[in-house]
């Protein structure tokens, strides 16, 4: 008998302690009708205790990026719904129960997300205002990604209608996927933190990756994005540049003020291209 929910977890070797924590948070759910699909090449002896649960399967894929890994997991999923969990995140015990109740209320809702806690490396919770947007959210979502990957559950038929994660994107691939889903389906929101999102110990390195790869997402959506979204794209890119050290503090504020004050859409795109040439 097929499970109700398929939980897809991409991972790589060396993250077994994080993966074990993520797995345990799924096994602790109040809603227990699920399967767990791990995609990657973890050292199984380091997570042996959790692997005793026969609902867990590991698909050996050592050389995939995160989009490829999620897609492989989705293609093997047997559940009526698919939930995503990154190997360094953690679910609250009633997450799936609450999401299943909400997504089954409306046949046109294809995705449900929740709020999340941001956890710093020292274990403290960072307070951050989040957005709870429901219904047809595409026009809002294209201006800002307010959906955290590890909070998401989708209907199984979505890949047939929308396709899979874009494997050419190495950053913002989740935003791209939510946008494509929101063009066809309603989105539901639970304004409660049901996920712990753990911040990296070396954020500068991570923002370096963001800065260098965000342009591919921007190029994909630029022609259909409204002017305000284009401006937000550039402001976000500038922020990644500042956080990674690629843009100085002074240069960041000069470019930000120029963007906010007098950049037309065409000039923003030209400026965006100039920035890419510097990378």
Work out the average pLDDT over 108-119: 96
Q: Tell the residue number behind the tokens 């049901």, with chain if given.
A: 194
Q: Are residues 241 and 188 in the same domain?
A: no
User: For residues 232 and 248, what is the distance between their CA atoms, to the nearest angstrom?
Assistant: 19
Does the pLDDT of residue 276 top 80, yes or no?
no
The structure tokens listed for 215 are 């342009």
Task: Using the 3D structure, point to which of 171, 198, 225 is the last residue of a domain.
Answer: 198
The predicted pLDDT at position 267 comes to: 58
Provide the domain limits for residue 256.
203-278
146 lies in the same domain as 251: no
pLDDT of residue 227: 87
Q: What is the largest CA-CA distance in the chain?
A: 60
Q: Report how far residue 42's alpha carbon sits from residue 61's, in angstroms, rounded to the nearest whole number.
A: 10
User: pLDDT category, 262, cuts 50, 70, 90?
Assistant: low
Average pLDDT, the chain: 91
Say yes or no: 250 and 180 in one domain. no
Pairing of strands 109-119, 186-198: parallel
Q: How far apart are CA 96 and CA 3, in angstroms?
A: 13
Are 36 and 53 in a shared domain?
yes
Residue 78's CATH number:
3.90.550.10
The residue that leads in pLDDT, 37 or 273, is 37
**Higher confidence at residue 74 or residue 123?**
74
Q: What percent of the chain has pLDDT over 90?
A: 69
Where is the domain boundary, 133, 163, 198?
198
What does the alpha-carbon distance between residue 223 and residue 113 come to, in Å, rounded to a whole number? 27
Residue at which a domain ends, from 146, 167, 198: 198
What's the total number of domains in the chain? 2
Q: Are residues 170 and 215 in the same domain?
A: no
**E strand map for 34-152:** 34-40, 56-60, 81-84, 89-91, 109-119, 125-126
Does 137 share its domain with 253?
Answer: no
Q: How confident is the model at residue 252 (pLDDT cuts 50, 70, 90)?
A: confident
Same structural domain, 78 and 179: yes
Q: Do 136 and 78 fall within a single domain?
A: yes
Average pLDDT for 169-180: 96
pTM, full prediction: 0.92
| 161/260 same-domain check | no
pLDDT at residue 279 in the model: 40
CA distances for 79 relative to 36, 63, 214, angstroms: 10, 25, 32
pLDDT at 278: 41
Residue 266 has pLDDT above 60, yes or no: no
pLDDT (0 to 100) of residue 257 = 84
- Residues 104, 190, single domain; the answer is yes
Same domain for 170 and 214?
no
Same domain, 69 and 156: yes
How sure is the predictor about 186, in pLDDT bands with cuts at 50, 70 and 90?
very high
pLDDT digits (tens, 9 = 90+) for 199-249: 888 888 889 989 989 989 999 999 999 988 988 998 999 999 999 998 998
CA distance 168 to 158: 20
């Amino acid at each position: 008998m097929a499970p109700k929910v398929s939980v897809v977890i991409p991972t790589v070797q060396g993250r077994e302690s994080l993966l074990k924590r993520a797995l345990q948070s799924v096994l602790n759910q109040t809603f227990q009708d699920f399967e767990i699909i791990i995609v990657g090449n973890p050292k199984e002896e380091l997570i042996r205790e959790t692997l005793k649960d026969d609902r867990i399967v590991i698909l050996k894929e050592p050389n995939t990026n995160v989009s490829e890994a999620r897609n492989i997991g989705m293609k093997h999923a047997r559940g009526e719904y698919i939930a995503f969990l990154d190997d360094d995140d953690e679910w609250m015990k009633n997450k799936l129960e609450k999401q299943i109740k909400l997504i089954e209320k409306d046949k046109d809702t294809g995705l449900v997300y929740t709020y999340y806690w941001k956890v710093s490396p020292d274990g403290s919770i960072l307070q951050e205002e989040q957005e709870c947007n429901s219904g047809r959210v595409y026009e809002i979502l294209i201006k800002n990604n307010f959906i955290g990957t590890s909070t998401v559950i989708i209907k199984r038929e979505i890949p047939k209608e929308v396709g899979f994660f874009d494997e050419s994107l190495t950053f913002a691939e989740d935003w791209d996927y939510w946008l494509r889903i929101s063009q066809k389906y309603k989105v539901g929101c639970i304004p409660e933190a049901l996920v712990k999102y753990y911040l990296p110990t070396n954020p500068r390195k991570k923002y370096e990756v963001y800065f260098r790869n965000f342009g591919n997402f921007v190029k994909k959506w630029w022609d259909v994005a409204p002017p305000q979204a284009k401006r937000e794209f550039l402001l976000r890119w500038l922020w990644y540049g500042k956080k990674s050290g690629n843009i100085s503090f002074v240069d960041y504020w000069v470019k930000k003020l120029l963007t906010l004050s007098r950049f037309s859409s065409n000039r923003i795109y030209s400026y965006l291209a100039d920035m890419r040439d510097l990378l």
